[in-house]
Structure formats: structure tokens, C-alpha cells
Amino acid sequence: MGLVPEVLNKNKMETLKGDYAIGHVRYSTTGSSILKNAQPFMIKHNRLSVSIAHNGNLVNAGKLKRELEKQGSIFHSTMDSEIVLHLLVRSKQEALEDKLIEALDKCDGAFTMLFLSDKKIIGVRDPQGFHPLCLGKKGDSFVLSSETCSLDLIEAEFIREVEPGEMVVITENGVESRRLKKKCEPAPCIFEFIYFARPDSFIFGDSVYQVRERLGVQLAKDNFVEADLVMSIPDSGNYAALGYARESGIPFEFGMIRNHYIGRTFIQPSQEMRQHGVRIKLNPIKEAIRGKKVIVVEDSIVRGITTSSRIKAIREAGAKEIHMRISCPPIKHPCFYGIDFPSKKELIANQIKDVDAIGDFIGVDSLKYLSVEGMMKAVSKGCNSFCTACFTGVYPTKVCKNSRKSDFDS
């Protein structure tokens, strides 16, 4: 538990031996942030050792866990991921891959998972493919990662995305592809494009950076306003802001500067800060803003609290008018698939239905969101059946009433 460079420092790394390894960076959206919930999570059962790393959220976790406990299983974490391992050891199949397929076909929801066993790494994406998983290669070694940007970091070559419902098995003989049995319409998470994925990644068949620029271009087409300059709330709003500036012809400026020395708290779990709207200190450039009519582009608004404090800072720096443009529609509905939104009541667009009223709350002179249609136009290239549940309320799986934290943490 802790920050990666602290947990896996040089000394630790040098003690690690072997040819196969998996790791995990997780905010534990289901299950609290304590040591026993750290992943990868390992079990030894008879002669089998298996570790799991899980990105996503099972929607039928509560039901599965209750059934397993009735049969005498003891859970040692509060993570939904542990369920898969209990299903696994109870499978009568012979081969690990077959046991896993049997176990995973009982699971509903979002699961991008890695398993490490003796001389074998198995990667799997749920049949709807909510979250991304890619396959890379460095020298003779294969790599699996959620996003392609990590392949770049280690200078590995990107081979292809793992497909929804696909299981890839990496051994010394190379990569083998298997299939889960359940068939569904793919439903990749559109919010990965809007905010969650890194701009230097390539997911769901497209460049995240270019999708965001196109969202900004579309935003300028649909919601133009005259102004002296376009700026973003850095860094997440940068790319849509640049798209907006280019399409509108209004100059782009770095109106706010990020303080890099405060940034490290960003991924510390169990702090208020880890939310989407984390309060990273940003300082406006007064001399660039003073007396100007500015367009502020942001990728999304969740609670609205951080945004309104940013707007206040821009106002105090002397902006004459502030027009806010958001490169996605209002977020009104909870996510059951692993994006760590706050509760419904904390989503500002769920509480305030009128967009102008949200603008008043945030303190801007005008506020416009990109429409669902506009968003789809900008996004659609590699794929066109996305999960847009947080915007539309249309969920691609049956959702249990209690399919979230409450099942496990209390």
C-alpha cells in the first residue's frame, strides 16, 4: 500500500526474482483502502498459487459472496475481486484457464483482470469490455497493461488491444487467445475518453488526445461565444481547450499554472483528494487574464465545488467575463462499473437540473455543456456502442439495487 515509487523502490525491485510478474495501481472503488485489500491479491490452495489484479467492479458481488459464505468460504478481504478466487477453487475443471472461464462466467459487470500463476500470466476483459486492456511486447517478453502509455514508458511495442470477452494466456510458448462463454454487445466506458484515460494512450481504437481535441472542436461548433482568449483548467481540460481555440479562432493562453510540488498527493488513497475533482493547486496568471473576456474549457464537472473555486480564482485575477464550456454532457447518474464518482446526491447535475442554474452556482457568466449527440459525433470512430450511463442513465447490465460499496464495507 502506498505510492508506487515508495512501495517498489529500487531496493525492493532488486530483491524480486522470476520471469513473470503482475502489479496493480488501484483506488479500491469497492472495498476500503486497507492493507488486506491491496492488490495483487494472492492465494495458495493445495498446489496452486494464484494472484489477481482487478480493474472494475462486479455488479452481482453481494449475491455471489452470500452464496459462497453459506457454503463455508471465509473471505479475507472486502474486495469483490476475491469472489473470483473462491469460485475458481470450487470449479471442477482441470486446467486453470477452464476453471477461470467457469468462474468468470458467473460474474456480471466490469472486470479487466490479470492472473499470475506458476509460469503463466492470464489477462481477461469482461464481455462488454468496459475498460481497456492492451498487449505489448518488449524484446521477447509480452506485457499487458490497461493503457498504452505504460508501454511507452518502458519502451515496449504496442501489438493490439485485448478484445471484449477475450482471455489471453502468456506462457513461455507465447500468447494464446481464449474466449469467455457469455456473449454481449460491447459497452466501452466513454468516460475513459472524456477524463479517465491518459491523453497519451490509445484505447478503444482511437487516440485519447485526438478524441479530446475533437470534443473541443465540436464544443466550439455547438457553443461558440466571442472572447479575448480560450484557457483550460489544466491539465485535463488542455486538449479540448486547444480544439476549441483552433475551431473558434480565439487565441489559446495558459491562464492557470499547475504547482507541480503539490501534485504528489493526487493518488494517495483514503483522502478526499483522490476524487475526480481533486484540489490540485492551480495559480492564475494575473497579467494574462486581467480585464479580459475569457472562455474556460473543462473536460467535465462532477461535484462543482472544485470548479467553482477555480472560477473564483480566475475572477479574482481580474477576468471581465467568464464563459465556461464543458466537453461532455452533464453527469447525472452513478457508475457501477468502476469509475469512482461520488454518490448521486453529490453530483451537481443530478441535484440542479437547469444548466444556467449550475452556471450561477459555479459563478460564470455563461455555461454550456456538449450534448450527448455532439459527444457521440466527436468520439465515434473506432467504435459506436459506448456505455454512456453516467450521462443517460441507460445501464448496459442488470444492476442490483445494492451493487456498490455497501455490500462489502459494512
CB 323 within 8 A of CB 295: yes
Q: Is 124 within 8 Å of 100 (Cβ atoms)?
A: yes
> Which position among 184, 267, 305, 383 is part of the footprint of its own copies (CB under 8 A)?
267
Axis-axis angle for helices 355-362, 305-316 (nearest 10): 60
* Binding positions for its own copies, 342-361, rule CB under 8 A: none
Q: Residue 188, class by beta-carbon neighbours within 10 Å (0-12 exposed, 13-18 middle, 19+ buried)?
A: buried
Residue 16, interface with its own copies (CB under 8 A)? no
> Does the footprint of its own copies cover residue 252 (CB under 8 A)?
yes
Q: Is 205 in the site for its own copies (CB under 8 A)?
A: no
* Residue span binding its own copies (CB under 8 A) among the ranges 26-34, 121-129, 188-196, 245-253: 245-253
Contact between 44 and its own copies (CB under 8 A)?
A: yes
Q: Which is nearer to its own copies, 116 or 168 (CB)?
A: 116
Collect all residues with Cβ–Cβ distance below 8 Å to 264 and sequence separation of at least 6: 3
In the complex, minimum distance from the CB of residue 177 to its own copies, in angstroms, rounded to a whole number: 26
Interface with its own copies, residue 275, by CB under 8 A = no
Instruction: Give me the sign of the Cα torsion angle 123, 127, 133, 138.
Output: positive
Q: What is the dihedral of CA 71, 76, 77, 83, to 10 degrees?
A: -30
Interatomic CA distance for residues 358 and 348, integer angstroms: 7
Task: Closer to its own copies by CB, 262 or 394: give it.
Answer: 262
Task: Choose which of 1, 32, 102, 149 interacts with its own copies (CB under 8 A).
Answer: 149
Could you say which of 181, 281, 353, 398 contacts its own copies (CB under 8 A)? 281
Q: In the set 13, 19, 74, 139, which binds its own copies (CB under 8 A)?
A: 74
CB of 63 to its own copies, least distance (A): 14
Distances (CA, A) of 62 to 31, 77, 125, 340: 12, 13, 21, 18
Q: In angstroms, what is the minimal distance from the CB of 153 to its own copies?
A: 7
Dihedral of alpha carbons 302, 211, 109, 75, sign? negative
Q: Which stretch binds its own copies (CB under 8 A): 116-124, 125-133, 207-215, 322-330?
A: 207-215
Name which position in 20, 209, 224, 361 contacts its own copies (CB under 8 A).
209
122 by DSSP, 3-state: which? strand
Element (H, E) at 152: helix 149-153
- 48-58 and 41-45 as β-strands: parallel, antiparallel, unpaired? antiparallel
Q: Does 161 sit near its own copies (CB under 8 A)?
A: no
Per CB under 8 A, the list member of 85, 162, 203, 387 interacting with its own copies is: 85
Q: Is 10 in the site for its own copies (CB under 8 A)?
A: no
- 283 contacts its own copies (rule: CB under 8 A): yes
Give DSSP secondary structure letters for 311-342: HHHHHHTT-SEEEEEESS----S--SSS----
d(CA 45, CA 407): 26
Stretch near its own copies under the rule CB under 8 A, chosen from 109-117, 136-144, 255-263, 381-389? 255-263
Residue 253 in the binding site for its own copies (CB under 8 A): yes
Q: Is 281 helix (H, G, I), strand (E, B) or coil?
A: coil
Does the protein bind its own copies through residue 246 (CB under 8 A)?
yes
C-alpha atoms less than 13 angstroms from C-alpha of 101 in its C-beta half-sphere:
18
Output 47 or 183, the one with its CB closest to its own copies: 47
- Tell me how far apart the alpha carbons of residues 57 and 60 are, in angstroms, rounded to a whole number: 9
Neighbours of 253 (CB within 10 A): 18
Interface stretch with its own copies, choices 110-118, 122-130, 234-242, 377-385 (CB under 8 A)? 234-242
Question: Is residue 383 within the footprint of its own copies (CB under 8 A)?
Answer: no
Q: Are 78 and 89 in contact (CB under 8 A)?
A: no
Among 202, 336, 386, 391, binds its own copies (CB under 8 A): 202
d(CA 368, CA 193): 19
Shortest Å distance, C-beta 251 to its own copies: 6
Q: Considering the rule CB under 8 A, would residue 263 count as an interface residue with its own copies?
A: yes
Q: Toward its own copies, which CB reaches closer, 84 or 110?
A: 84
Q: Does 288 bind its own copies (CB under 8 A)?
A: yes
Instruction: For residue 291, state whether it binds its own copies (rule: CB under 8 A).
Output: no
Residues that bind its own copies (CB under 8 A): 3-5, 35, 43-46, 66, 69, 71-76, 85-86, 89-90, 149, 152-153, 198-200, 202, 207, 209-210, 235, 238-239, 242, 246, 251-254, 257-267, 281, 283-288
